[in-house]
């Protein structure tokens, strides 16, 4: 695959905004403002028949009037004017179009015809089309977001993301921000008239900047082509898919949103599993999966070593670990004794789970207890529950030990993983969500950002933690099995 | 049932803390501090052999030395000393014991024998026992919390709660605080040596201050007795049960936590369903159910009218509504036209769901659109998605319209419900959870508190919303059907 063909689309050096405006109530005004405020590193040409100055930049009356070459043209004019704009871009030698405008396939046969014409014009001029009815790209490496996320992270990362929903892509970008999920490129491709799921998966499979792939899909153009691309991509990189439109009612939703025929849920489920992709259940679950794949490459864990303060959470951990097929191996007596010696006698338990007796036990206790658990041969990973709400209470009284608390735990976990290969997983439930106590929620959000930056995935509860870990382990085990199978077939 | 027998336990006018201390590292010190700081309205007697002054209060060397009668004695001394303390309380004529101390049935046969002796002593003196190995009670009406929640809400409310986990009860109290869930009494009864699930359910069934009942259970003393009490209670009030210990591994957890034999998951599931109780999946789910039962008494809704800004969320709403057996009725053409006239032409849809085209659409649009949906005969309830993160962005720029925004929507929803009987349900996803953007999370938490105070339940996502609504509707429909059946049997 020739990756360089996609550079002008995803890493454009020059950008034309067709329909640029000074009014923030117009899409062309909003887009331009976002591009400027986010800090795009390339050159921007506002295009508006009136010319003059728009948002402080020299505006040009037409595409053809632009002084230099254009990688990507952003089309924000009404649907009826998009064909003329596309033709003008073709004459100018523009490489790609991002068509934000809605009013195509999703509104019915008339829109579908307009969409076909748009693609024909673009193809005849050698241009690619993102959209229509999509937000386009977010590429932190060039400081570009066409999506309305002026405060998206400016850091690049290993996740490539494709979405038929622009708003959904924004949600994922924002949710990912505080969970250590950083993106190579996000593509909101809407109706997918030209660039579409299968091709984008092939691109991310080949892209060396991308290690994990995420997708929000409503429907695909060609099921067979999509399945082949998905299977090929998943054989090299984890692919997490959230499928929108899962029944008759959902189909009604997707037809009106992106003109996609959603298909049946059971069919999709089977296809994703057979391709070796990971199915997500909703937006937050999708982000949890991306976070876990980023933090835990190669994870195949089976035995959990659990540390928690409090009986309910110990029981809950065992319930959900077991529900998702993990074990919590019993400790050898010497390990149990080592842990017992660390704990306060009242209310603690030194088995697996280790009940720390206190939701905010000190690092001096947690760190050696983690070490003891990690030395158990049957324990593959550690799960630490922290009720940061109570830590919030403590720190309010004791004065700001919070950051030190987390950084000591995170540093110890990083060192333990380096030494033993056994990762830590954190569970930080949202408890103190009363407005009067919001400081504790803030502490939780800060802790999560700190842990995930250190490769420690953080979940809001046991179900989320173990269901996500199950899928990560299944992915790597499944990939290994498929690759072994192929190797054996090759020998025959 | 003689409710007055429980008044000294749950609404004590006088309290003795046996093992009171000045040291906050000791349970007797922590407990006393919490009781004092939370603002208990009754009389407190610290008991410590040394006498003197403890935390500013006159301390007494023994129970017998106390100057007045005692409703409830809180026992925090080590397990070996609890029998003597109980005997002394008996001699004094104390009405009830709350035994915080661990080291009873949950540690094995020796502890079980001690526990039996404790109960025998108490019974022989006409005292009731809460615990051992439990935190005791939280009763806002008398400003009392024995649980470590100094900042628990001081407001009373309609939820009675019982828990075998003290930490779990605290989590529920805190999670409930920001979600409009207020409590009549919470009882953390630990091992349940005397007061136990069945009796507590009978109490809450009879208690006029309690309208909704919640429970975290690990095991029950007598299955038949429990089932009868549960069925009887659920016939009058919703009962939401979170069952801890759902498999072989979970049993290991509960045996060590409260000495409970957890039983099989399938057995419990069937028993809860047959009794007409509602099963919760984990802590946050339990609180969502309590919130929904508080906000939506009598809810039997079937047809949802959905309002959302953005395609993914519209699709997701239909997917989950349908997964949980709800419908999203198509609108009559005149209603669709009315809604269309309200919306911006670009990116909106006027069907059901209504795509508002913007995650922070103005109340001037949302309120009349809600009104139009509510007039559809097949729509029973409204679901409004709000991406408060984007509202946070907007208000940062526009300057503090946030509270007015929510109070206008909430007021309109309250009025609409009064007029049509159709309630509003809000979905407020956690999107902007980056530490750099925590203000938006704060806004979400504030909005949730405001909506729930106005009887509008708020969920973090579609799955949580529709799965909870399903259980609320099932409860009321089931109760009606069972009561009809009984009536018919009565006639035979």
Q: Give the nearest chain A residue to B438 (CA atoms).
A: A442
Q: How far is the alpha carbon of B37 from chain A, nearest alpha carbon, in Å?
A: 13
Say whether residue B179 is in contact with chain A using an 8 A CB cutoff: yes
Other CB atoms within 10 A of residue A264 CB: 13
- Give pLDDT, residue B241: 97
Question: How large is the average pLDDT for residues A378-395?
Answer: 76
Region for B325 from its dihedrals, namely left if φ exceeds 0, alpha if ψ lies in -120 to 50, beta otherwise: left
Give me the residue from B250, B284, B431 closest to A315, CB to CB.
B250
Say whether residue A221 is in contact with chain B using an 8 A CB cutoff: no
Rounded CA separation B78/B398 (Å): 59
Check if the beta carbon of residue B354 is closer than 8 Å to that of residue B374.
Answer: no
Chain A residues closer than 8 Å to B387 by CB: 167, 171
Question: How large is the average pLDDT for residues B468-486?
Answer: 95
Split at pLDDT 50, 70, 90, the class of A491 is: confident
Q: Which of residues 134-153 of B touch A (CB under 8 A)?
A: 150-151, 153
Residue A118 has pLDDT above 80, yes or no: yes
Question: How large is the average pLDDT for residues B75-100?
Answer: 95
Q: How far is the alpha carbon of B96 from chain A, nearest alpha carbon, in Å?
A: 23
Check if the beta carbon of residue B423 is closer than 8 Å to that of residue B299.
Answer: yes
Does A168 sit within 8 Å of B319, measured CB to CB?
A: no
Say whether residue B216 is in contact with chain A using an 8 A CB cutoff: yes
Rounded CA separation A318/A306 (Å): 9
Give a three-class secondary structure readout of A430-460. CCCCCHHHHHHHHHHHHHHHHHHHCCCCEEC
- How remote is the C-alpha of B462 from its chain's centroid? 20
Q: What percentage of chain B exceeds 90 in pLDDT?
A: 74
Using alpha carbons only, how large is chain B's radius of gyration in Å? 25
Question: How large is the average pLDDT for residues A271-282?
Answer: 95
Phi, psi dihedral angles at B356 (to 5 degrees): -75, -5
* Residue whose C-alpha is closest to residue A442's, from B175, B391, B435: B435
Rounded CA separation A457/A280 (Å): 17
Say whether residue A217 is in contact with chain B using an 8 A CB cutoff: no
Name residues whose C-beta falls within 8 Å of residue B196's C-beta, 6 or more positions apart in sequence: B189, B220, B221
Does A435 sit within 8 Å of B253, measured CB to CB?
A: no
Region for A198 from its dihedrals, namely left if φ exceeds 0, alpha if ψ lies in -120 to 50, beta otherwise: alpha
- Give pLDDT, residue B429: 87
Q: How far is the alpha carbon of A19 from chain B, nearest alpha carbon, in Å?
A: 15
Say whether residue B117 is in contact with chain A using an 8 A CB cutoff: no
Eight-state DSSP code of residue A350: -
Region for B240 from its dihedrals, namely left if φ exceeds 0, alpha if ψ lies in -120 to 50, beta otherwise: beta
Give a three-class secondary structure readout of chain B. CCHHHHHHHHCCCEEEEECCCCCCCCHHHHHHHHHHHHCCCCEEEEECCCCCEECCEECECCHHHCCCCCCEEEECCCHHHHHHHHHHHHHHCCCEEEECCCCCHHHCHHHHHHHHHHHHHHHHCCCEEECCCCCEEEEHHHCEECCCCCCCCCCEEEEEEEECCHHHHHHHHHHHHCCCCCEEEEEECCCCCCCCHHHHHHHHHHCCCCCEEEEEECCCCCHHHHHHHHHHHHCCCCEEEEECCCCHHHHHHHHHHHCCCCCCHHHHHHHHHHHCCEEECCHHHHHHHHHHHHHCCCCCCCEEEEEECCHHHHHHHHHHHHHCCCECCCCCHHHHHHHHHHCCCCCCECCCCEECCCCCCCHHHHHHHHHHHHCCCCCCEEEEECCHHHHHHHHHHHCCCHHHHHHHHHHHHHHHHHHHCCCEEEECCCCCCCHHHHHHHHHHHHHHHHHHHCCCCEECCHHHHHHHHHHHHHHHHHHHHHHHHHHHHHHC
Check if the beta carbon of residue A326 is closer than 8 Å to that of residue A472.
Answer: no
Cα–Cα separations (whole angstroms), residue B62 to B88, B90, B197? 8, 13, 32
Question: How large is the average pLDDT for residues B406-432?
Answer: 93
Q: How far is the alpha carbon of A68 from chain B, nearest alpha carbon, in Å?
A: 32
Say whether residue B155 is in contact with chain A using an 8 A CB cutoff: no
Residue A492 has pLDDT above 70, yes or no: no
Q: Where are the beta strands (DSSP E) in A86-180?
A: 96-99, 128-130, 136-139, 144-145, 156-163
List, for residues B359-409, the tens digit of each pLDDT value. Answer: 778 899 999 999 999 999 999 999 999 876 665 555 544 444 467 888 899
Say whether residue A329 is in contact with chain B using an 8 A CB cutoff: no
Q: Between these two residues, B439 and A92, which has the higher pLDDT value?
A: A92
Split at pLDDT 50, 70, 90, the class of A400 is: very low
Q: Which of residues 235-274 of B touch A (CB under 8 A)?
A: 244-250, 252-254, 256-258
List, for residues A332-346, the tens digit of each pLDDT value. Answer: 999 999 999 999 877
Look over chain A and give the mean of its residue pLDDT values, rounded to a whole number: 91
Chain B residues closer than 8 Å to A348 by CB: none
Q: What percentage of chain B exceeds 70 in pLDDT?
A: 94
Does B441 sit within 8 Å of A346, measured CB to CB?
A: no
3-state secondary structure of A27: helix
Give me the residue from A153, A316, A434 closest to B174, CB to CB.
A434
Least confident piece of the model among A159-163, A264-268, B288-292, B315-319: A264-268
- Give pLDDT, residue A398: 41
Q: Give the nearest chain B residue to A27 (CA atoms).
A: B346
- Give pLDDT, residue A89: 97
Eight-state DSSP code of residue A461: S
Least confident piece of the model among B267-271, B318-322, B452-456: B267-271
List, for residues B153-177, the tens digit of each pLDDT value. Answer: 999 999 999 999 988 999 999 999 9
Rounded CA separation B72/B3 (Å): 16
Check if the beta carbon of residue B47 is closer than 8 Å to that of residue B59.
Answer: yes
Rounded CA separation A96/A15 (Å): 10
Does B437 sit within 8 Å of A244, measured CB to CB?
A: no
Q: Between these two residues, A395 and B117, which has the higher pLDDT value?
A: B117
* Residue whose C-alpha is closest to residue A166's, from A49, A341, A338, A30: A30
Chain A residues closer than 8 Å to B281 by CB: 463
Split at pLDDT 50, 70, 90, the class of B446 is: confident
Does B318 sit within 8 Å of A249, measured CB to CB?
A: yes
- How remote is the C-alpha of A56 from its chain's centroid? 34
Burial bucket for residue B395 (CB in 10 Å: 0-12, 13-18, 19+)? buried
Check if the beta carbon of residue B426 is closer than 8 Å to that of residue B392.
Answer: no
Other CB atoms within 10 A of residue B24 CB: 13
- The sheet with strand B304-308 has its strands ordered as B354-355, B304-308, B381-385, B424-427, B458-459
Q: Give the nearest chain A residue to B450 (CA atoms).
A: A435
Rounded CA separation B410/B452 (Å): 9
Q: Which of residues 285-324 of B touch A (CB under 8 A)?
A: 309-323
A180, two tokens: 């250590």
Q: How far is the alpha carbon of A446 from chain B, nearest alpha carbon, in Å?
A: 5
Substitution target from A303, A434, A440, A448 for chain B, most B beta carbons within 10 A:
A434
Substitution target from B249, B313, B436 for chain A, most A beta carbons within 10 A:
B249
- Count the helices and strands in chain A (H runs, E runs): 17, 19
Give me the residue from A171, A355, A437 closest to B431, CB to CB.
A171
- Give pLDDT, residue B459: 96
Q: How far is the alpha carbon of B414 from chain A, nearest alpha carbon, in Å?
A: 22
Rounded CA separation B32/B37 (Å): 9
Chain A residues closer than 8 Å to B449 by CB: 434-435
Euclidean distance between the first and the last CA atom of chain B, given in angstroms as a whole number: 29
Q: Give the nearest chain A residue to B180 (CA atoms).
A: A434
Residue B265 has pLDDT above 80, yes or no: no
Rounded CA separation A369/A342 (Å): 7
Please work out, in degrees rounded to the nearest 5, the angle formed at the alpha carbon of residue B161 by the alpha carbons of B445 and B239.
95
Cα–Cα separations (whole angstroms), residue B406 to A152, B368, B381, B452, B453? 26, 15, 19, 11, 12
Residue length, chain B? 492
- Give pLDDT, residue A261: 61
Question: How large is the average pLDDT for residues A286-296?
Answer: 98
Check if the beta carbon of residue A417 is closer than 8 Å to that of residue A455.
Answer: yes
Give me the residue from A174, A351, A389 closest to B256, CB to CB.
A351
């Amino acid at each position: 695959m020739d990756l360089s063909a996609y550079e002008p689309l995803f890493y454009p050096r020059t950008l034309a905004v067709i329909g640029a405006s000074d009014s923030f109530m117009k899409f062309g005004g909003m887009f331009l403002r976002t591009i400027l405020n986010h800090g795009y590193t390339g050159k921007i040409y506002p295009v508006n028949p009136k010319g003059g100055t728009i948002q402080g930049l020299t505006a040009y009356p037409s595409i053809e009037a632009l002084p230099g070459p254009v990688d990507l043209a952003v089309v924000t004019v009404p649907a009826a004017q998009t064909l003329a704009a596309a033709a003008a871009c073709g004459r100018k030698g523009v490489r790609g179009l991002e068509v934000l405008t809605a009013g195509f396939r999703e509104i019915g046969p008339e829109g579908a015809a307009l969409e076909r014409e748009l693609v024909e014009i673009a193809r005849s001029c050698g241009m690619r089309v993102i959209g229509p009815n999509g937000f386009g790209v977010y590429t932190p490496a060039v400081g570009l977001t066409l999506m309305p996320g002026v405060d998206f992270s400016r850091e690049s990362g290993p996740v490539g993301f494709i979405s038929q929903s622009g708003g959904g892509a924004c949600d994922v970008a924002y949710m990912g921000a505080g969970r250590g999920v950083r993106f190579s490129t996000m593509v909101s491709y809407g109706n997918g008239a030209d660039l579409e799921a299968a091709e984008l998966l092939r691109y991310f499979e080949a892209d060396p900047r991308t290690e994990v792939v995420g997708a929000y899909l409503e429907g695909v153009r060609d099921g067979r082509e999509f399945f082949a691309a998905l299977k090929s991509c998943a054989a090299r990189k984890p692919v997490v898919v959230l499928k929108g439109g899962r029944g008759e009612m959902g189909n009604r939703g997707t037809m009106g949103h992106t003109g996609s025929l959603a298909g049946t849920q059971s069919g999709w489920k089977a296809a994703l599993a057979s391709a070796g992709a990971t199915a997500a259940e909703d937006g937050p679950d999708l982000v949890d999966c991306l976070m876990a794949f980023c933090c835990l490459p190669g994870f195949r864990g089976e035995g959990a070593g659990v540390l928690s303060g409090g009986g309910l959470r110990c029981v809950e951990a065992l319930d959900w670990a077991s529900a998702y097929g993990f074990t919590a191996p019993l400790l050898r007596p010497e390990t149990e004794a080592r842990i017992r010696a660390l704990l306060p006698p009242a209310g603690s338990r030194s088995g697996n789970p280790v009940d720390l007796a206190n939701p905010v036990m000190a690092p001096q206790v947690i760190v050696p207890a983690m070490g003891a658990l990690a030395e158990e041969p049957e324990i593959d990973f550690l799960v630490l529950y922290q009720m940061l709400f109570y830590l919030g209470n403590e720190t309010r009284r004791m004065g700001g030990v919070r950051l030190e608390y987390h950084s000591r735990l995170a540093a110890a976990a990083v060192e333990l993983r380096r030494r033993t290969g056994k990762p830590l997983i954190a569970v930080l439930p949202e408890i103190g969500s009363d407005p009067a106590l919001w400081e504790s929620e803030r502490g939780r959000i800060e802790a999560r950002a700190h842990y995930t930056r250190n490769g420690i995935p953080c979940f809001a509860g046991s179900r989320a933690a173990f269901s996500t870990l199950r899928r990560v382990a299944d992915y790597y085990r499944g990939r290994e099995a498929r690759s072994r199978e192929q190797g054996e077939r090759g020998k025959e």
